[in-house]
Amino acid sequence: MRFSRLAVAVAAASTLAAPAFAQTVLKIGYATAPTSHYGVGSTVFCEEVEKGTAGRYKCQQFPNSALGGEREQIEAVQIGTQDLVNTSTGPVGNFVPEVKIVDIPFLFRDYDHARKVMDGPIGQDILAKFPSKGLIALGWTENGFRHMTNSKRDIVKPEDAKGLKMRTMENKVHMDGYRTFGILPTPMAFPELFGALQQGTVDGQENPIPVILSAKFAQVQKHLSLTGHVYSPALLLLSPRVWNKLSDADKKVFTEAAHKASIAQRKKVNEDESNGIAQLEKDGMKVTKTVDGNAFREALKPAYVGYAKEFGADNIKKIADMK
């Protein structure tokens, strides 16, 4: 009898204590494999959030576009049916137009330049535009410099790309630029891409080395040209539905977790850039390492006239001149 009373007391105490340990599980999605740069950044974010909130918040990860393409996931985060997405900026300009400026081809010299811009006042001002569009941008992560692959030929100068049907993201800034190279841009959601390359629906695609590696594009593409034509930042986006429920202390935890995720994701990009080209060659790709960057920049001049009208020549110059 004494034992039963004790059991009832313990059960009652547990019931009373339960709310203090209530756990919220957040769904976070991304386009690539768990071992990719997106997987690395998302895992660090999730670990830091769980640690910083003493387990009150934890994540369930959905890699490999399990929750849909990036545009679909951003929409889901915006309406609150998905909590988080770690996404390239490719489709983000459709939601927050101010982001499009960082998608301009040949705008960034190298990783050091790009990261300084994203972490400095220009990048931070762009992040501040998100709440009014129904999204919370916790911070910049990274996708990397984009390179061209195709099944037909080596690309050294713009003429070599002429007539190639190239899958692009749903991004007008990219597509306008690629048309000046003579490419036939074909927007397509990332989950459909491998099959389209396999079947020859498109000749090629363009993505950073970490994506080309993790998506195993070497199985369906013969030629890789290190064009580095666009720097592709990425973002950790959170649903306002979640953000608005957080205490100030928890908001700080989430923001700091995003910062640590960014460091980890960039580190993985660096590692993939260092080791990935040799791996892709081993996997059978022919890699063109010397590309005529000046010829590509020259070909892009007509597109830059349009970019200057859309974004302001001074704003573009401010990014280009960042030291």
Q: Name the pTM for this structure.
A: 0.90
Q: What percent of the chain has pLDDT over 70?
A: 93
Task: Return the pLDDT at 266.
Answer: 98
Pick the CATH number of 2-320 from 3.40.50.10300, 3.90.198.10, 3.40.190.170, 3.40.630.10: 3.40.190.170
Would you say residue 269 has pLDDT above 70? yes
**What is the Cα–Cα distance from 209 to 270, expressed in whole angstroms?**
10
Would you say residue 14 has pLDDT above 50? no
DSSP-derived letter for residue 321 is: T
Backbone angles phi, psi at 208, to 5 degrees: -70, 160
Q: How does residue 170 score in pLDDT terms, banded at 50, 70 and 90?
A: confident
Task: Return the pLDDT at 3.
Answer: 44
Interval 197-216 mean pLDDT = 97
pLDDT tens column, 38-80: 999 999 999 999 999 999 999 999 999 999 999 999 999 999 9
Task: Return the pLDDT at 22.
Answer: 84
pLDDT tens column, 212-224: 999 999 999 999 9
Three-state SS for 82-124 is CCEEEEECCCHHHCCHHHHHHHCCCCCCCHHHHHHHHHCHHHH
- Where residue 242 falls (left for φ over 0; alpha for ψ -120 to 50; beta otherwise) is alpha
Task: Return the pLDDT at 18.
Answer: 44
List the chain domain ranges: 2-320
pLDDT, averaged across the chain: 93
Interval 312-321 mean pLDDT = 96
Task: Return the pLDDT at 13.
Answer: 46
Would you say residue 89 has pLDDT above 60? yes
Tokens of 35: 């071992």
pLDDT tens column, 121-134: 999 999 999 999 99
**Contacts of residue 83, Cβ cutoff 8 Å, sequence gap at least 6:** 26, 27, 28, 77, 238, 239, 241, 242
Task: Return the pLDDT at 21.
Answer: 63
CA distances in angstroms from 253 to 38, 52, 83, 138, 184, listed in the order given: 20, 6, 16, 11, 44
